[in-house]
Structure 1
């Protein structure tokens, strides 16, 4: 395991824990789906600083991370709470996903996979501003060590 300092991504004094698997030399493979880190995905190869913090991404796996955050208060079920539709789209599409509570999900998108059903499942809530989505690669990976 290693940590990523989230300050470069707007989360001062916070860190995200990454599960890693040793590779050759001083590289490690990311074995989890990042929730708040930008520019990193499942399967990427990273290098550590001091054995504890991710210093940089040295090789991309070609995977992407699609993240959705559902706002509070939740709309009434008749108003279209799309979390169940998103869970179904994740399951039927064979995607891997990790939830943080019931409002924040990170979905692994393998290279070449079609995520359109994921988008469709939350589209109405995004338009109503009761859900927000982003790609983890909308910003490059940065670390606080490079200041």
Structure 2
């Protein structure tokens, strides 16, 4: 979900992949990733002493972060550094408007379910998919390939850039 208040767009995760009983939240300023005026709210759980947390949602926009990564949080409740990578990756797909006659969103959802991987949708056009093992991803790639080729959907890896705090 996205909401804009006083010129700042806040992106939140309504259904984090690893919702736990005791959760924390922290913001990631998306300015270093070319998305000035946007903040993404990540769900976290304690992962050690001090301000050390594990990411419990699949980042929509923040680069260099994935589900299960261990991060540090600053005084202003912002993620300010990456401590340890989980070994997971995030594949993000954006479906453009207008939608074509052959829409890949349903086949993508089916492929994600069949592969047994987790995903989070931000609206009905943007999905972040957890990739714990690249070997299960081919059916997922195949489900959106026609739209990627036709330019009605776009994909990227969240680790195509490293995490950079603002």
Question: TM-score w.r.t. structure 1 length?
Answer: 0.93
* Number of the residue aligned with 2:158: 136
* Number of the residue aligned with 1:5: 29
* Number of the residue aligned with 1:47: 72
Q: Does 2:31 correspond to 1:21? A: no
Deviations 1:31-73 (A, max 9, x none): 0000000000000000011150001111000000000000000
CA-based RMSD of the aligned residues comes to 1.0
* Number of the residue aligned with 2:146: 124
SS of residue matched to 1:57: strand
Of the candidates 120, 123, 131, which is equivalent to residue 101 of structure 1?
123
With CA pairs under 8 Å and 6+ residues apart, which has the higher RCO, 1 or 2?
Answer: 1
* Number of the residue aligned with 2:19: none
Question: TM-score w.r.t. structure 2 length?
Answer: 0.82
Give unpaired runs (5+ residues) of structure 1.
Answer: none
- Work out the CA distance in 1 between the residues paired with 2:76 and 2:135: 33
- Work out the CA distance in 1 between the residues paired with 2:45 and 2:103: 37
Give unpaired runs (5+ residues) of structure 2.
Answer: 1-24
- Work out the CA distance in 2 between the residues paired with 1:8 and 1:112: 27
